[in-house]
């Protein structure tokens, strides 16, 4: 179980957090429909680092961006989400 | 190849078990093959077998980066059933179930398919209605399903907590008597041995590192053992579909997640059927060795670590105890993880791709093992003919863009909600 | 006399225990293994496959042989290692895997059949139809397994605890104690865990967890520790759990987990009376037990010479030291160099003799105990679980911890500080009786067979032979197996490979895994605000997610259906009240509240007048209907959004995503008020009069808002109807809502009405054709499928608008919402088909009888349904043996013009 | 355990800490959200004060406040928990949102031997039952 160092709450157990999606699959409201659909259904899904959107669902309820390694689970960086 | 039989075993017993052949060869890769299948799991090996057996193609290689059956084939909870609600799914899985029934004889390898029944418990009237709906969908399509009363369930599994005050009271269940379990490793080994006997090269420790392309067309693969040419290349690496497809510049509607399972110390028979639940994501069966095999929710975040969240195991244990209180004193002896290919509608992809000569079999989520023979059958058809088998046609890669998803759980595109 | 015995003198044996029905005495501090040996009992178990008699081989958790079932009734624990079980007064243990008795075991016939039962024999036979395999399987299953599981529920409690520290030290031996001392001196928060009962020292300021096993190391310094507060089968102190699972987060972890001695491979190396050399020392030193009187020691290292000293000091005779090396350390005991054991012969509880190769010849030694030492395997399990690499040490013939991606380090024996050994390639004259994995009865010849058949990867070998897969997970066998594999393959051991170490380090009860979630507590049960009010009426409760809600309030011996029908009829004719507290509610406030709602809701919101509300629905990004509810404009910049109970948590996250990720620029506050407001719906033709009288206020028109007070409690009144009748949803603060319910209940009953539950609510809404999320809105339906497309906001801009543009979602044959009517009951969930045997065209999503009048109505999803009004189909439920002939209609059966709820 | 009652959620778009009247307890539960405790009587004043910089929404009707007394409160809250409640730096004036026995909670120490736990009403029986089961002399909820 990972420990996620929430910028607001400090280090917390992973069970307080929920994974949402990768940063590159966020579909903004002004995106053309075709682009929106293709973003929704395409993931790089690397065996390595990716930028992921998580929510501290049972803590401060904020949205966070984790740059995280999917094999080692090392969290390279963590910041509040900003569009 | 020396055939396996009771008589052969008896003879071998008298001669100190000498004289058995190797189950499969250890060939060097050739320069090129008609078909290359990437991935030596059950699906890849069964694909190779049916390509050779049904379609008469013999110049085939299965490339496995590690040892065959070492991925999800050897890590699942071995449950075999076809009782899905959605028609494309139950048609495909029931085709598989029919093949399971004859698999040991077909392969001359005892895969220990044991149709001891796959039971879903219902914990409320609305659960029972949902189970009836699923059962009705199956029965109307000619697939076996049977609703069981509370009493019938109790008779089947006397150790269930049948009290009205139970956290998950048991109102009844739906069983598929043809469902059950099989010996997972034996499936990979059986297909490998049978495919090998038909001339298929099963090449272990051969990792694909790239595709050779010619004008947007795949012409072969690069491996740690050199370049190998191919007429058609089939990806069959569920759990790692993303990274392999990425070598061809593709992004898939798939995310890798960890799914854990665990087993208790072996004990004398106590559970004679596969127990699942309409409301809980917990499944229980007892292996032939005596261990109680348990599984629960996936880890619900992307990972290739093959190292899971203890909380998932703890939840599955709690749910299992809630259903079968006598499990509480049994001990987990081992837990393990697989990397699942979580597709974005919960259903597999057996399809051509936007790159010519390249095909994909993946996205099996946490339910691929039971599909093994049908998956191989349909993928072999696709790789042999270039056209989808009727059963696999709904599982096309472009269904997401078209809006023709097959969403058994009805939760949409977020795999972690499944 | 021969065999194991207690060394004379010492403490009195005050504890009584039973093994296989015979009562014995033990000293406090004895393990069961020590106590049995002290009582001369050397044979304690039968092996898994061949039912060979087995004794005690080790003194610790690595014991492969001496497994017993301990405890009685619901506290029965099978497969308990006798070496890891402290005797308590009254302990009851029985041997396993034998019938009828340990002494006379019919299963031992498997030993005779062994030539036919080689590794993987079952893959090569039992062909024919699956039913035939199941026949054989029945016998195999019965023969497999070890102990018997209890059948009674577990009476004990378990607990999870969270703990945090700077340093977690695993292992309370000298190395562990030293590491803990150092850390605490540096001012660090330290937790020290030790499997045994006692530590070899105590340290001020350290949290000491004894009888605790570090079970698993996971990500980011997370460890699970299993603490036994009582021994297996023992009754816990009242109010205390039996076991505790610690969830520890440590900044750094020090592994002082020691090393495990390896046995040697030779024929009959599994008999009672063959024991690990250090275990022999342990029994002497810790328990005053001499495991044998005339002892042969077989070793490939210097360490075993210390065992000779210990045996002699305890009064035993060292018959011979067989050293496989050319020379050993100086000693006064008879030493034979270049000597290895070849075979043993035995009696019931101990050995009779040891045959050895000495140089070029062979010799037989009379001995009742053979102490063996094949070297030492550092316990690298936790290091490896945490992702650490392993390095090969040729001098130890063992893997030691290498680099770790986590802050995990190893010290002492675990780090490889163990005696060096001489690597010898064992020549096995009788590989069929030379055991590698004792518990699973895997012999050297099984490995040879697997190799010959091509199962050559170490994982294949393991899976084909079941090597290392027993309850000891190969603690004593893995290295011997790797060495054998390497020698057969002609490669080095590191080239041969290594299997993965997986949690738990030692088997862990499911009870401990579940913690406080065990027993009947596997999920929280959420209680509604008005629970006491309902409970007074003794309702039938219905689970919905974690909630329980009243389903109906039967009077006397009314059935569910009769009660629900009475309740529903009251709503149609007079009035009824229903608890709708669990609906999700969100306060959406701020200058951009309307703009925000138009992102989330697929319907128009901005044009809503203050004091008005409307039906709305929300889509997922893929265009499917996600949830529905109502939106109310309470004030200029203040809205209240309601949505379904089952989707409440999902909606909370969805709204947060929409705000913080998609539209963070909006000045809007979204606050979940699901439980802040309890909700009661009052429905029926008399509802307006009842409410007006209770509040002294004129009630608003349909979809209007009013503020008032009932029973002195401020309430928010929303004029919304789900039943099709004139109706009001009345919201009061959760903790104040009781008196509001009381007042409404009294007034409703006075008007001839009743409280009603979910069943009646279903009857009413189905008749009215209102969809419900989970039935009609099954996550696969678009607004068009549900005939909601006219409400979609033309300008778009809402979540899901893009997903809806996908071509297949416009296909004419999609499953679409229809009504179904019949003269006979329609089975809910039934398939819609043209006739028996015809293809499935759709299904019944919800069904009910007419509330007033006869016949049945239902909602369904039917392929191309909107174009099929008037078609006659069969609603068929083969699993229930029910069917009904149904006519396809529009999905509304009651007050089609929609006048009643406006009255 | 009792109804919290008088709790208002205050959101501020700019995350600036609000100015509130004496006698009102202020707990910051999110970067842009505070709980005002004991402020219901001043709702109108507060609303005017806050104006367009934020919004007030009452939530106390759905919240239960459990008060744990006794030196053992920290130990009690380690049971089925995942937050470092034993960290001495977690003291009076702090509030931590976390989960306990799968229940979302907000833990607010109010003294060395006293602590408040806020939770949704519906979960109160679940946590009460847990603490009753496991209150082994550490001091249970009151």
Average pLDDT estimate for C850-856: 96
Q: For C657, name the nearest residue in chain A, comparing CA atoms only.
A: A63
Examine the fold and report which residue of B342, B360, B394 is the final residue of a domain before the chain moves on. Answer: B342
Q: Is residue C140 one of the residues assigned to a domain?
A: no
What pLDDT band is residue D140 in, cutting at 50, 70 and 90?
Answer: very low
Token pair in block for residue C587: 């306060």
Note whether D99 contacts A58, CB cutoff 8 Å: yes
* Range scoring the smallest mean pLDDT among B109-118, B230-239, C520-529, D12-21: D12-21
Q: Is residue B24 one of the residues assigned to a domain?
A: no
Which class would CATH give A3-80? alpha beta
- pTM for this prediction: 0.97
> Residue C384: is the preceding peptide bond cis (ω within 30°)?
no
Q: How close A49 gets to chain C, by Cα (Å)?
A: 16
Q: In this structure, are B153 and B263 located in the same domain?
A: yes
Please give the tally of structural domains in chain B: 2
- Which residues make Cβ contacts (< 8 Å) with residue C692, sequence separation at least 6? C698, C699
The answer to whether residue D137 scores a pLDDT higher than 60 is no
* Whole-angstrom distance, CA of residue B49 vs CA of residue B111: 15
Average pLDDT estimate for C34-58: 96
* Neighboring chains of B (3 or more beta-carbon pairs < 8 A): A, C
Domain of residue C92: give its range: 5-116
Q: pLDDT digit string (tens) for B258-316? A: 999 999 999 999 999 999 999 998 999 999 999 999 999 999 999 999 999 999 999 99
Q: What is the CATH number for B47?
A: 3.50.50.60
Domains of chain D by residue range: 2-61, 62-134
Note whether C621 contacts A40, CB cutoff 8 Å: yes
Examine the fold and report which residue of B342, B364, B397 is the final residue of a domain before the chain moves on. Answer: B342
Q: For C70, name the nearest residue in chain B, comparing CA atoms only.
A: B329
The answer to whether residue C473 scores a pLDDT higher than 90 is yes
Q: In this structure, are B198 and B165 located in the same domain?
A: no
The answer to whether residue C675 scores a pLDDT higher than 60 is yes
Average pLDDT estimate for B131-148: 98
Note whether A58 contacts D104, CB cutoff 8 Å: yes
* Whole-angstrom distance, CA of residue B40 vs CA of residue B208: 12
Supply the pLDDT for residue C13. Answer: 95
Query: How much is the mean pLDDT over chain C?
Result: 96
Q: pLDDT digit string (tens) for B30-76? A: 999 999 999 999 999 999 999 999 999 999 999 999 999 999 999 99
Average pLDDT estimate for D73-87: 96
Supply the pLDDT for residue D134. Answer: 67
Q: In this structure, are C684 and C554 located in the same domain?
A: yes
Pick among C149, C799, C815 to test the B interface (most B CBs inside 10 A): C149
Supply the pLDDT for residue D141. Answer: 42
Q: In this structure, are B160 and B229 located in the same domain?
A: no
CA distances from C492 to C50, C300, C324, C484, D57 (A): 31, 19, 20, 10, 70
Q: In this structure, are C398 and C290 located in the same domain?
A: no
Q: In this structure, are C578 and C691 located in the same domain?
A: yes
Q: In this structure, are B44 and B97 located in the same domain?
A: yes
The answer to whether residues B262 and B63 touch, using CB atoms and an 8 Å cutoff, is: no
Supply the pLDDT for residue C108. Answer: 83
Q: In this structure, are B242 and B267 located in the same domain?
A: no
The answer to whether residue D142 scores a pLDDT higher than 70 is no
The answer to whether residue B131 scores a pLDDT higher than 50 is yes
Q: pLDDT digit string (tens) for D17-51? A: 888 777 789 999 999 999 999 999 889 988 998 98
Query: In what helix (H) or strand (E) does residue C34 lie, and over which residues does it extend?
Result: helix C32-38
- At which residue do the structure tokens 């796959």 appear? B118
Q: Is residue B288 one of the residues assigned to a domain?
A: yes
Token pair in block for residue A3: 């420990």
Q: How close A19 gets to chain D, by Cα (Å)?
A: 16
Contacts of A40 in chain B (CB under 8 A): 344, 400, 413
What pLDDT band is residue C426 in, cutting at 50, 70 and 90?
Answer: low
Which is more confident, C337 or C131? C337
Secondary structure (H, E, C), C559-597: CHHHHHHHHHHHHHHCCEEEECCCCEEEEEECCCHHHHH
Note whether A29 contacts C661, CB cutoff 8 Å: no
What pLDDT band is residue C902 in, cutting at 50, 70 and 90?
Answer: confident
* Homologous superfamily assigned to D62-134: Probable tRNA modification gtpase trme; domain 1 (3.30.1360.120)
Max Cα-Cα span within chain D: 50
Please give the tally of structural domains in chain C: 6
Contacts of A45 in chain B (CB under 8 A): 241-243, 246, 251-252, 254-256, 302
Average pLDDT estimate for C586-593: 98
Domain of residue B100: give its range: 30-82+84-109+183-254+345-417
Residues 61-80, chain A, touching B (beta carbon < 8 A) = 70-73
Q: In this structure, are C688 and C649 located in the same domain?
A: no
User: Which of B240, B253, B416 faces A42 most closely, judged by CB atoms?
Assistant: B253
Q: In this structure, are C682 and C574 located in the same domain?
A: yes
Extended strands (E) in C198-330 = 206-209, 212-217, 222-228, 243-255, 259-261, 274-276, 289-290, 294-299, 317-323
Token pair in block for residue B377: 């059958």
Q: Is residue B100 one of the residues assigned to a domain?
A: yes
C-alpha angle C141/C142/C147, rounded to 5°?
Answer: 105
| Spatial CA neighbour of A57 closest among D102, C287, B168 | D102
The answer to whether residue B1 scores a pLDDT higher than 90 is no
Examine the fold and report which residue of B314, B342, B370 is the final residue of a domain before the chain moves on. Answer: B342
Q: How many CB pairs under 8 A join C and D?
A: 123
Q: In this structure, are C289 and C371 located in the same domain?
A: yes
Query: How much is the mean pLDDT over chain A?
Result: 97
| Spatial CA neighbour of C277 closest among C307, C300, C301 | C307
Note whether A44 contacts B400, CB cutoff 8 Å: no
Pick among A3, A41, A48 to test the B interface (most B CBs inside 10 A): A41
Q: Is residue B89 one of the residues assigned to a domain?
A: yes
ipTM value: 0.97
| Spatial CA neighbour of C861 closest among B108, B81, B133 | B133
C399 CB within 8 Å of a chain D CB = no
* Whole-angstrom distance, CA of residue B5 vs CA of residue B1: 12
């Amino acid at each position: 179980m990972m420990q996620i160092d929430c910028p607001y709450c400090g280090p917390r157990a992973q069970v307080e957090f929920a994974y949402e999606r990768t940063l590159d699959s966020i579909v903004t409201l002004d995106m053309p429909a075709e682009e929106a659909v293709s973003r929704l259904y395409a993931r790089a899904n690397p065996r390595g680092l990716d930028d992921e959107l998580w929510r501290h669902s049972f803590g401060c309820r904020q949205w966070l961006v984790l740059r995280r390694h999917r094999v080692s689970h090392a969290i390279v960086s963590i910041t509040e989400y900003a569009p | 190849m020396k055939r396996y039989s009771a008589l052969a075993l008896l003879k071998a017993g008298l001669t100190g078990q000498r004289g058995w052949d190797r189950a499969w060869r250890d060939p060097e890769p050739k320069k090129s093959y008609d078909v290359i299948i990437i991935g030596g799991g059950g699906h890849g090996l069964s694909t190779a077998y049916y390509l050779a057996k049904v379609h008469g193609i013999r110049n085939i290689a299965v490339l496995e980066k590690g040892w065959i059956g070492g991925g999800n084939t050897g890590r699942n909870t071995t449950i075999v059933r076809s009782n899905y609600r959605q028609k494309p799914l139950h048609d495909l899985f029931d085709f598989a179930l029919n093949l399971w029934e004859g698999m040991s004889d077909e392969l001359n390898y005892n895969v220990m398919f044991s149709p001891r029944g796959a039971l879903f418990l219902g914990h409320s009237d609305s659960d029972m209605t949902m189970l009836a709906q699923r059962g009705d969908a199956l029965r109307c399509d000619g697939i076996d399903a049977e609703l069981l009363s509370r009493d019938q369930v109790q008779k089947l599994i006397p150790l269930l907590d049948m009290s009205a005050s139970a956290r998950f009271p048991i109102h009844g269940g739906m069983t598929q008597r043809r469902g059950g379990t099989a010996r997972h490793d034996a499936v990979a080994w059986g297909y490998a041995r049978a495919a090998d006997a038909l001339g298929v090269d099963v090449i272990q420790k051969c990792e694909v590192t790239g595709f050779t392309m010619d004008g947007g067309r795949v012409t072969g693969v690069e491996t740690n053992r050199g370049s190998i040419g191919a007429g058609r290349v089939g990806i069959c690496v569920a759990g790692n579909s993303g990274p392999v497809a990425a070598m061809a510049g593709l992004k898939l509607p798939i995310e890798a997640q960890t799914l854990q399972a665990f087993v208790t110390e072996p004990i004398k028979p106590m559970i004679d059927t596969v127990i699942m639940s309409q409301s809980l994501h917990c499944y229980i069966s007892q292996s032939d060795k005596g261990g109680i095999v348990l599984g629960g929710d996936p880890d619900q975040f992307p990972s290739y670590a093959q190292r899971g969240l203890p909380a998932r195991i703890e939840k599955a244990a709690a749910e299992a105890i809630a259903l079968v209180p006598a499990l509480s004193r049994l001990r987990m002896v081992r837990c393990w993880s697989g990397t699942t290919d979580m597709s974005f509608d919960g259903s597999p992809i057996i399809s051509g791709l936007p790159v010519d000569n390249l095909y994909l079999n993946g996205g099996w989520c946490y339910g691929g093992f039971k599909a093994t023979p049908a998956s191989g059958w349909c993928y072999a058809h696709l790789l042999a003919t270039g056209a989808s088998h009727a059963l696999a046609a709904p599982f096309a890669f472009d269904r997401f863009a078209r809006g023709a998803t097959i969403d058994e759980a009805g939760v949409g595109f977020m795999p972690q909600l499944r | 006399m021969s065999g194991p015995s207690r060394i004379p003198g010492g403490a009195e044996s005050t504890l009584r225990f039973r093994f296989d029905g015979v009562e014995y005495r033990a000293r406090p501090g004895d393990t069961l293994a020590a106590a049995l040996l002290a009582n001369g009992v050397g044979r304690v178990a039968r092996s898994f496959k061949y039912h060979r008699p087995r004794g005690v081989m080790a003194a610790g958790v690595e014991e492969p042989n001496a497994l017993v079932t301990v405890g009685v009734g619901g506290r029965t624990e099978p497969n308990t290692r006798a070496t890891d079980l402290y005797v308590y007064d009254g302990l009851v243990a029985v041997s396993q895997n034998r019938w009828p008795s340990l002494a006379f075991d019919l299963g031992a016939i498997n030993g005779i059949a062994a030539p036919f039962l080689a590794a993987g024999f079952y893959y090569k036979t039992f062909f024919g139809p699956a039913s035939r395999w199941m026949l054989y399987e029945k016998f195999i299953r019965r023969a497999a397994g070890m102990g018997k599981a209890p059948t009674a529920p577990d009476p004990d409690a378990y607990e999870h605890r969270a703990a945090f520290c700077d340093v977690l030290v695993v292992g309370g031996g000298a190395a562990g104690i030293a590491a803990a001392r150092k850390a605490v001196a540096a001012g660090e928060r330290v937790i020290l865990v030790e499997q045994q009962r006692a530590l070899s020292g105590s340290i001020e300021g350290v949290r000491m967890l004894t009888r605790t096993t570090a079970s698993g190391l996971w990500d980011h310094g997370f460890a699970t520790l299993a603490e036994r507060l009582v021994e297996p089968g023992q009754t816990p102190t009242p109010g205390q759990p039996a076991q505790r699972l610690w969830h520890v987060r440590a900044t750094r972890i020090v592994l002082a987990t020691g090393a495990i001695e390896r046995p040697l491979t030779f024929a009959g190396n599994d008999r009672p009376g063959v024991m690990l050399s250090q275990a022999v020392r342990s029994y002497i030193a810790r328990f005053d037990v001499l495991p044998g009187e005339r002892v042969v020691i077989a070793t490939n290292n210097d360490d075993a010479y210390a065992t000779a000293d210990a045996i002699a000091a305890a009064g035993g005779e060292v018959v011979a030291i067989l050293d496989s090396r050319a020379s050993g350390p100086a000693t006064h005991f008879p030493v034979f160099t270049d000597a290895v054991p070849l075979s043993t012969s035995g009696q019931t509880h101990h050995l009779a003799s040891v045959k050895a190769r000495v140089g070029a010849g062979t010799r037989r030694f009379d001995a009742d105990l053979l102490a063996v030492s094949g070297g030492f395997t550092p316990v690298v399990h936790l290091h490896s679980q945490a992702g650490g690499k392993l390095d090969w040490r040729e001098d130890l013939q063992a893997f030691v911890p290498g680099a770790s991606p986590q802050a995990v380090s190893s010290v002492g024996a675990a780090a490889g500080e163990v005696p060096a050994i001489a690597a010898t390639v064992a020549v096995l004259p009788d590989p069929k009786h030379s055991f590698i994995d004792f518990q699973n009865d895997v012999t050297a010849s099984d490995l040879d067979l697997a190799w010959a058949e091509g199962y050559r990867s170490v994982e294949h070998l393991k899976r084909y032979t079941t090597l290392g897969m027993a309850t000891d997970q190969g603690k004593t066998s893995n290295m011997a197996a790797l060495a054998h594999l390497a020698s057969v393959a002609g490669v080095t051991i590191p080239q041969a490979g290594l299997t993965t170490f997986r949690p738990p380090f030692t088997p862990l009860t499911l009870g401990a895994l579940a913690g406080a979630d065990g027993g009947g507590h596997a999920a929280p049960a959420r209680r509604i605000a008005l629970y006491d009010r309902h409970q007074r009426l003794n309702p039938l409760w219905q689970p919905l997610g974690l909630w329980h809600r009243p389903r109906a309030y039967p009077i006397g011996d009314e059935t569910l259906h009769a009660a629900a029908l009475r309740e529903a009829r009251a709503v149609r004719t007079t009035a009824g009240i229903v608890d709708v507290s669990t609906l999700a509610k969100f306060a959406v406030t701020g200058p951009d509240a309307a703009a925000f709602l138009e992102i989330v809701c697929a319907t128009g919101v901005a044009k809503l007048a203050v004091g008005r509300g409307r039906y709305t629905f929300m889509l997922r990004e893929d265009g499917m209907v996600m949830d529905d509810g109502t939106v109310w404009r309470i004030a200029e910049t203040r809205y209240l959004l309601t949505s379904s109970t089952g989707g409440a948590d999902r909606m909370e996250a969805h709204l947060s995503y929409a705000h913080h990720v998609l539209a963070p620029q909006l000045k809007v506050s979204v606050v979940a008020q699901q439980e802040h407001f309890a909700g009661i719906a009052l429905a029926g033709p008399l509802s307006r009069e009842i409410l007006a009288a209770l509040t002294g206020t004129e009630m608003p028109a349909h979809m209007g808002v009013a503020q008032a007070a009932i029973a002195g409690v401020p309430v928010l009144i929303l004029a919304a109807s789900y039943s099709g009748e004139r109706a009001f949803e009345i919201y009061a603060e959760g903790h104040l809502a009781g008196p509001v319910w009381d007042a409404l209940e009294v007034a409703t009953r006075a008007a001839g009405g009743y409280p009603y539950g979910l069943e009646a609510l279903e009857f009413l809404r189905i008749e009215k054709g209102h969809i419900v999320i989970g039935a009609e809105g099954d996550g696969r339906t678009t607004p068009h499928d549900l005939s909601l497309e006219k409400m979609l906001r033309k300008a778009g801009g809402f979540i899901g608008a893009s997903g809806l543009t996908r071509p297949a979602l416009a296909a004419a044959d999609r499953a679409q919402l229809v009504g179904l009517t019949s003269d006979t009951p329609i089975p809910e969930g039934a398939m819609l088909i043209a006739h028996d045997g015809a293809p499935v065209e759709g299904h019944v999503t919800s069904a009910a009888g007419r509330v007033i009048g006869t016949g049945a109505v239902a909602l369904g999803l039917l392929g191309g349904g909107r174009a099929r009004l008037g078609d006659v189909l069969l609603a068929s439920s083969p699993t229930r043996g029910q069917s009904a002939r149904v006519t396809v209609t529009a999905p509304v059966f009651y007050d089609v013009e929609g006048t009643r709820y406006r009255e | 355990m009792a109804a919290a009652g008088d709790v208002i959620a205050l959101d501020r778009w700019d995350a600036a800490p609000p100015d509130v009247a004496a006698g009102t307890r202020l707990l910051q539960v999110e970067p842009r959200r505070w709980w005002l405790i004991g402020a219901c009587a001043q709702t109108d004043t507060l609303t005017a004060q806050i104006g367009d910089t934020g919004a007030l929404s009452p939530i106390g009707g759905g919240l239960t406040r459990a008060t744990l007394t006794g030196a053992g409160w920290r130990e009690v809250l380690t049971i089925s928990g995942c937050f470092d409640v034993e960290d001495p730096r977690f003291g009076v004036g702090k509030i931590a949102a976390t989960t306990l026995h799968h229940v979302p909670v907000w833990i607010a120490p109010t003294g060395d031997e006293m602590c408040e736990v806020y939770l949704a009403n519906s979960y109160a029986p679940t946590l009460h039952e847990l603490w009753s089961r496991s209150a082994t002399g550490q001091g249970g909820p009151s």
